[in-house]
Amino acid sequence: MWVIGFFGLFGAANAQTPSSPAAGTQFDGTYAFVSSTKVNETYMQTKTARIGQCGNGIVGPLSIVNGQARYSGPNRDFEGTVGPQGELVMRRHEEPVNGGETPGRGATTNGKIHSNGTARARQVGGWCSHDLTWQREPNPAKPEPNRVR
C-alpha cells in the first residue's frame, strides 16, 4: 500500500512542476529583413504568353509572438507558425480576382530559425520564388550579456 501511496505522491508532485514554455515561444521577437535572392529570374505570363521579370523580393520584418509568425510581402501578409525546433511554416492567401471568377494565387514560405538568431526561408509564389533571410533584433527588455551600457 505504501508503494502505491509513494507513486501517487510522486505523480501529484510531478503534475505541479511548471511546464516548459509553449512550443515556438523561445523564437518570439522581431527579425530584421537582411536579404532576398531570386530562385528564378523570369516567369511565363499565362494570358499573354510573355516572359515577365521577377521582382527583388524585398519583404518586411518577421515578427513572432507566442509562436505565431507574420511578415508583409510585396502585396499581401504571410502568416503561420514556428515549431519547437524553429520550423517556420507560413502561407499567404490571395483574394479571388475578376469578381471571384478567377481564384487567387496563394504562396508559401517554409524555413528554419537557427540558434544564432538567423531565419532562412524559401518563399514560393505563383510565378516567382525567393530565398529570404532575417536576423533577430536584440530585445531591449533583456540586455545582452557582457554589453556595456
pLDDT for residue 92: 86
- The angle at the Cα of 109, spanning 108 to 115, to the nearest 5 degrees, equals 160
The secondary element (H helix, E strand) that includes residue 4 is: helix 2-15
Q: Structure pTM? A: 0.71
* pLDDT tier at 5, thresholds 50, 70, 90: very low
**Residue 38, SS3 per DSSP:** strand
Q: How far apart (Å, rounded) are the C-alpha atoms in residues 70 and 91? A: 9
Residue, of 70 and 8, whose pLDDT is higher: 70
> What would the mean pLDDT of 55-71 be, rounded to a whole number?
93
pLDDT tens digits, 104-137: 567 899 999 999 999 999 999 878 899 999 999 9
Q: Alpha helices of the chain — where are they, by DSSP H?
A: 2-15
Domain annotation for the chain: domains and CATH numbers: 22-136 (2.40.128)
> What would the mean pLDDT of 62-73 be, rounded to a whole number?
94
